[in-house]
Amino acid sequence: MDWIHMQVDSEAARTPLPLDVLVPDAEQKGPYKAVFLLHDLAGNNTSWMRSVPLERYLGEMGAVLVMPSCLNSFYVNMYYGYDMQDYLVRDLVRMCETWFRMDARREARLIAGIGMGGYGAVHTALAAPDVFGAAVSIDGMLDPGRFYDSPLPAIKMEDVFGPKEYYERSPHKLANAAAALAHNPANHLYPEITLCGEGDGQEELLQALRESGIHAEAAYDEDPMAVLAEKVRLM
């Protein structure tokens, strides 16, 4: 795969952000599948390449691997800060489709993440089911509300999600996002969601997703990268 590094200017993010992309070799003809890989808390656009042998797992899948840097935003439009959900869904997808000859169908687009990125993958797929057909969370921080009482050193939860009382009622809480999607009469699209590893709040979220009619599965004891690779293969 060919590696591309760039800086991206986004109206939504309001700050230049680094981006790394792995593009299939020339003999693999497009249009390509698209896999967006979200980093953990205190990570960045290089985190996946430094920690995972991506080419071994995904190199022959005919997929563009998009690795943005979204700071410690949990990939949402922050209460105080950057509109990272808009950056991902509105700006970055459109730009990457233009640059890398990606398949524009939602079924050919998957979002995955580790830790904070696991939360971001699920939240983004629930918020934009017309954009992402599937999401994979690996060791996801799926219940960030618990960090209001046990603060994280890298971020204030109030800056990301607002006051705790607001978070508990908002679609930033993933169970609320699932229910809102299920009860939206204008929506007829649902992402497929897979939870891997040892993320917090997984069982509660799995139940909430299924109660909302969203296809969700648990793969807690399997190699998460093998699970991700199989999901990409089936796209």
The backbone torsions φ and ψ at residue 6, rounded to the nearest 5 degrees and listed phi first, read -155, 170
Q: How far is CA 155 from the centre of its chain?
A: 19
State how far the Cα of 74 lies from the Cα of 41, in Å rounded to an integer. 8
User: Which own/partner contact pairs does 185-188 have at CB distance under 8 Å and 24+ positions apart?
Assistant: 187/129
CA angle in degrees (0–180, nearest 5) for 168-139-49: 125
The closest alpha carbon to 44, from 15, 8, 9, 18, belongs to 18
**Which is it for strands 33-38 and 63-68: parallel, antiparallel or unpaired?**
parallel
pLDDT of residue 136: 98
Q: Which two tokens stand for residue 55?
A: 């080419």
What's the CATH class of domain 2-234?
Answer: alpha beta
Please state the three-class secondary structure of the chain as a single string. CEEEEEEECCCCCCCCEEEEEEECCCCCCCCEEEEEEECCCCCCCCHHHHHCCHHHHHCCCCEEEEEECCCCCCCCECCCCCEHHHHHHHHHHHHHHHHHCECCCHHHEEEEEECHHHHHHHHHHHHCCCCCCEEEEECCECCHHHHHCCCECCECHHHHHCCHHHHHHCCCCHHHHHHHHHCCCCCCCCCEEEEECCCECHHHHHHHHHHCCCCEEEECCCCHHHHHHHHHHHC
Q: What is the CA radius of gyration of the chain?
A: 16
pLDDT of residue 175: 96
Q: Which two tokens stand for residue 200?
A: 């917090």
pLDDT of residue 39: 97
Bridge partners of residue 63, in order along the sequence:
33
Q: What is the mean pLDDT of each run of 10 residues along the chain (235 residues)?
A: 92 91 85 96 92 90 96 95 95 94 95 97 97 97 90 85 96 96 86 93 94 94 95 94
pLDDT of residue 25: 85
Q: For residues 129, 118, 65 and 86, what is the CA-based torsion angle, rounded to 10 degrees?
A: 50
The residue behind tokens 């999607």 is: 181
pTM score of the predicted model? 0.95
